[in-house]
């Protein structure tokens, strides 16, 4: 087994991987940019190396600096996390050339699945259902018109290199096609440096369901059930759950087998995710493959009882999978909320800054994967994901109850977060009835929030008035006092005596 | 001690006095039975009668937010000693400050000093976490002063420009 692993990432995922390393008695090496010296992943690691200034291109995306740290620290493997270099085939190749194991698929597999059109071509002969459309970039407007007429409107134009909704256009009829094609192309060119756009039949308000697969380097590929990721805003996932409320054992098997074929078509190894669109008749279509560990991997871990990061490391170490397909069982239910530093009152605009107060939820069925701590200043240079709050339970109802309870315990002061959004989602009747699709969140956000939505306590205003006065009385003392009784039994002389009296009480029992 | 507490814009008179280690509390003149424990800085466990509340205090710049459970209230506290000078003009007269809505970087100035501006028009652009946010003029008038340059790093609440 590796003795030392370098984690080429930051934030909650870097902390997640450091923890896995320590659980496996592997030393963890962190890298950090100038603005991340105080970040949690640096605190938790065994070694930490500065790799440059704040812009990702000069630090977390800088291949030679990261490989230099790997050489200096003696790390034998690199875990890329998600984002940054995780799906960069050049990085995987550079690692191999430097004699460092990249914990993920091979560069060839990444390239095969790297663009949506190439992925469609790769799976062509593997009996994988895809949305009707072209499997290569559109050569001309005439071709686009022809294909659109053939598959029928509405159609979707998509950037081959796309992601996050960029370079994507819904076209309702032939009149809109020309301008949509031009704008999709220029947006794709700007966002990805690649203007290739292809066409697909539009599936309106689909569900987004993905299958987690895991493959060792000995030819074994296994699916680990699905995740429902239909709750998205601007094509970014916000809430994910496993299992999907609409997928039964039979559908899971069919989707899983397709996902395994996709992975095998690419010669895939390590952890990966095969994404599908699902229409209202539960027909599913291959969308793309994500060649990395996903943000939402914890929901799969909770319902399968597996640790995906441990598995990734074992596989990278050349070990065969320790189980077979028939050993995998989905048990219970898990839901993840992505806690972002965003201002719900300002159209969910990022809200970096100093965290002045942090109260954490715990208790039954709660897992928190976090990269923040009280007193830390959230840097403005990176993705605003702060933490993931994951609830799990016997079934979906219990999980929603636990998660709602935990969201009420969770408090992040000093910056704005989207915690209130999850309270809205989790209390929504359609969400509770699992009537969700990719348009759900946009529809919810368009509705004016009724003031009765937040469990308004009639006494709350009076409480706020009194508390405001008391905080004012305490003044600066409030910033330093540990515990201070303001009323009730008179405060005991502080320090030692409390321990003593507690010990005496214990002894008397 | 008497405080005037404005919660979400509505003003209340609060009398808080400590007598023999216990609090006497009146809200707008009526007696309220209160028992409070400071659980940790900025977190109070409050009992009103027998009902229990967890209350959090959040200070962002000069703003104070009081959270009762998951409900947020904007609070303004005035005690008699600091009453002077605390009353702000809420109307459109006089110069108005444009402040940074969050920490970030000034990426673009849309108007220059001296140019006229409509209410709601963008004056400059601040970027944070790869998102750009236009800082808009609260009133029609003239850009009297721009206090930051393109590329400058700013903190939440920093004054960026003044519209007269």
Q: What is the CATH number of the domain that holds B53?
A: 3.30.700.30
- Written as six digits, the tokens of A434 are 């699992």
Residue B22 lies in a domain: yes
Cβ-based contacts of A411 with chain B (< 8 Å): 56, 67
Q: Residues A108-131, buried b or exposed e (16+ Cβ, 10 A)?
A: ebbbbbbbbbbbbebbeeeebebb
Of A105, A58, A106, the closest CA to residue A84 belongs to: A58
Examine the domain organization and report whether B7 and B75 are in the same domain.
Answer: yes
Identify whether residues B41 and B106 lie together within a single domain.
Answer: no
Domain co-membership, B59 together with B32: yes
Lowest mean pLDDT among A80-94, A301-315, B135-149: B135-149
A492 contacts chain B (CB < 8 A): no
**Enclosing domain of residue B25:** 2-82
- Say how many C-beta atoms besides its own lie within 10 A of residue B3's C-beta: 20
Contact B71 A414 (CB under 8 A): no
- Cα separation, A464 vs A487, whole angstroms: 18
Contact A482 B40 (CB under 8 A): yes
A68: tokens are 């230099």
B27 and B56 inside one domain: yes
Comparing B152 with A331, which gets the higher pLDDT?
A331
Catalytic residue among A10, A118, A207, A292: A292
Express as a percent the part of chain A with pLDDT over 90.
81
User: How many Cβ atoms are within 10 Å of B54's Cβ, its own excluded?
Assistant: 18
Instruction: Report yes or no: A452 at the B interface, CB cutoff 8 Å.
Output: no
Return all residues near A89 (Cβ < 8 A) that are at least 6 apart: A107, A108, A110, A111, A114
Q: Clarify whether residues B69 and B33 are in a common domain.
A: yes
A236 Cα to chain B: minimum distance (Å): 15
Tens digit of pLDDT per residue, chain B (164 long)? 888 999 988 899 999 987 777 778 999 999 999 998 889 889 999 999 999 999 999 987 778 899 998 899 999 988 665 544 344 434 456 788 888 877 888 988 999 899 999 888 889 888 887 777 888 888 888 999 999 999 888 887 788 999 98
Instruction: Supply the ipTM of this predicted assembly.
Output: 0.81
For this structure, is A292 an active site residue? yes
For residues B69 and B123, membership in a common domain is answered with: no
Read off the pLDDT band of A505 (50, 70, 90): low
For residue A450, pLDDT over 80 is answered with no
Q: Same structural domain for residues B72 and B103?
A: no
pLDDT digits (tens, 9 = 90+) for A28-53: 999 999 999 999 999 999 999 999 99
Least Cα separation, residue B67 to chain A (angstroms): 7
Judged by average pLDDT, the poorest of A2-11, A77-86, B84-93, B124-133 is: B84-93
Q: What's B117's domain CATH number?
A: 2.40.50.100
Q: Quote the CA–CA distance of A215 and A261 in Å, as a whole number.
A: 12
- Closest to B103 (Cα-Cα) out of B126, B135, B122: B126
Domain boundary among B82, B105, B125: B82
* Number of domains forming the structure of chain B: 2
What is the pLDDT, as a whole number, of residue A475?
Answer: 65
Task: Determine the pLDDT at residue A392.
Answer: 98
CA dist list (Å): A29 to A22, A108, A173, A450, B122 = 11, 27, 54, 48, 45
Task: Enumerate domains of chain A plus CATH numbers.
Answer: 4-103 (3.40.50.20), 132-201 (3.30.1490.20), 207-450 (3.30.470.20), 467-508 (no CATH)
The rounded distance, in Å, linking the Cα atoms of B69 and B44 is 11
The model's confidence at residue A234, banded by pLDDT at 50, 70 and 90, is confident
Tell if the CB–CB gap between A465 and B129 is shorter than 8 Å: no
Q: Residue B35: which of A351, A474, A488 has the nearest Cβ?
A: A488
Within-domain flag for B26:
yes
Query: Which residue is closest to A415 within chain B, CA to CA?
Result: B60
Same domain for B104 and B132, yes or no, is yes
Whether residue B6 contacts residue A429, with contact meaning beta carbons closer than 8 Å, is answered with no
Maximum average pLDDT range among A56-60, A231-235, B17-21: A56-60
Q: Do A239 and A422 touch, CB atoms closer than 8 A?
A: yes
On whether residue B16 sits in a domain, the answer given is yes
Q: Is the CB of A464 less than 8 angstroms away from the CB of B58?
A: no
Same domain, B71 and B131: no
What digits encode the pLDDT tens for the residues A400-420? 999 999 999 999 999 999 999
- Check residue A492 and give its pLDDT: 40
Domain boundary among B30, B48, B82: B82
Residue B24 lies inside a defined structural domain of this protein: yes
How many C-beta atoms surround the C-beta of residue A298 within 10 A? 23
Question: In this structure, are residues A46 and A75 in contact, taking their beta carbons and an 8 Å threshold?
Answer: no
In a domain, B15, yes or no: yes
Nearest Cα residue in chain A from B66: A464
Residues from chain B that touch A472, judged by Cβ atoms under 8 A, are 3, 77, 79
Please tell me which residue of chain B has the smallest CA distance to A356: B58
B38 and B8: one domain? Answer: yes
Contacts of B42 (CB under 8 A, 6+ apart): A356, A357, A413, A471, A478, A479, B56, B57, B58
């Amino acid at each position: 087994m590796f003795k030392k692993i370098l984690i080429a990432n930051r934030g909650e995922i870097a902390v997640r991987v450091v923890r896995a390393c320590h659980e496996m008695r592997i030393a963890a090496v962190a890298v950090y940019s100038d603005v991340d010296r105080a970040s949690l992943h640096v605190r938790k690691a065994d070694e930490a190396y500065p790799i440059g200034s704040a812009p990702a291109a000069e630090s977390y995306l800088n291949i030679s600096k990261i490989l230099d740290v790997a050489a200096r620290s003696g790390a034998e493997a690199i875990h890329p996390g998600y984002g940054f270099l995780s799906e960069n085939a050049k990085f995987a190749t550079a690692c191999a050339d430097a004699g460092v194991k990249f914990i993920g698929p091979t560069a060839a597999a990444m390239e095969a699945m790297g663009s949506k059109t190439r992925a469609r071509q790769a799976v062509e002969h593997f009996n994988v259902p895809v949305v009707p459309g072209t499997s290569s970039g559109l050569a001309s407007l005439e071709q686009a018109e022809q294909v659109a007429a053939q598959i029928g409107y509405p159609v979707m134009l998509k950037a081959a290199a796309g992601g996050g909704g960029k370079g994507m256009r819904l076209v309702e009829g032939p009149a809109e096609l020309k301008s949509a094609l031009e704008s999709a192309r220029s947006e794709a060119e700007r966002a990805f440096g690649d203007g290739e756009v292809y066409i697909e039949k539009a599936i309106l308000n689909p569900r987004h369901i993905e299958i987690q697969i895991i493959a060792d380097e000995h030819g074994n590929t296994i699916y680990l059930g699905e995740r429902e990721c239909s709750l998205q805003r601007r094509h970014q996932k916000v809430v994910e759950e496993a299992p999907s409320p609409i997928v039964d054992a039979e559908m899971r098997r069919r989707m899983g087998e397709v996902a395994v074929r996709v992975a095998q078509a690419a010669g895939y190894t390590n952890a990966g995710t095969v994404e599908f669109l699902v229409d209202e008749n539960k027909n599913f279509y291959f969308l793309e493959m994500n060649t990395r560990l996903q943000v939402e991997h914890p929901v799969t871990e909770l319902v399968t009882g597996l640790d995906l990061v441990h598995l990734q490391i074992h596989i990278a170490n050349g070990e065969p999978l320790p189980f077979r397909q028939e050993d995998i069982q989905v048990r219970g239910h898990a839901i993840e909320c992505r806690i972002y530093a965003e201002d719900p009152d300002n159209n969910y605009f990022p809200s970096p800054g100093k965290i002045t107060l942090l109260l954490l939820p715990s208790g039954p069925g709660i897992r928190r994967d976090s990269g923040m701590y009280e007193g830390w200043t959230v840097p403005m240079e990176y993705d605003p994901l702060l933490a993931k709050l994951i609830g799990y339970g016997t079934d979906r109802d219990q999980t929603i109850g636990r998660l709602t309870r935990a969201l009420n315990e969770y408090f992040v002061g000093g910056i704005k977060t989207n915690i209130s959004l999850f309270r809205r989602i989790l209390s929504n009747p359609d969400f509770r009835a699992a009537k969700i699709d990719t348009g759900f969140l946009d529809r919810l956000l368009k509705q004016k929030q009724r003031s009765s939505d937040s469990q308004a306590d009639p006494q709350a205003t009076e409480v706020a008035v009194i508390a405001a006065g008391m905080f004012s009385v305490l003044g600066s003392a409030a910033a330093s006092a540990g515990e201070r009784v303001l009323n009730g039994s008179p405060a005991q002389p502080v320090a030692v005596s409390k321990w003593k009296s507690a010990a005496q009480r214990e002894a008397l029992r | 001690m008497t405080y005037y507490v404005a919660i979400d814009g509505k003003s209340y008179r609060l009398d808080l006095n400590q007598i023999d280690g216990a609090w006497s509390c009146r809200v707008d003149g009526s007696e309220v039975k209160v028992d409070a424990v400071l659980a940790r800085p900025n977190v109070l466990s409050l009992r009103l009668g027998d009902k229990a509340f967890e209350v959090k205090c959040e200070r962002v710049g000069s703003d104070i937010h009081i959270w009762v459970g998951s409900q947020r209230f904007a609070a303004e506290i005035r005690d008699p000693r600091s009453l002077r000078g605390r009353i702000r003009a809420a109307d459109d007269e006089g110069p108005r400050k444009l402040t940074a809505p969050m920490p970030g970087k000034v990426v673009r100035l849309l108007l220059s000093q001296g140019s006229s501006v409509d209410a709601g028009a963008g004056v400059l652009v601040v970027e944070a976490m790869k998102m750009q946010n236009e800082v808009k003029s609260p009133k029609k008038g003239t850009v009297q002063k721009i206090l930051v340059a393109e590329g400058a790093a700013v903190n939440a609440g920093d004054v960026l420009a003044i519209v007269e």
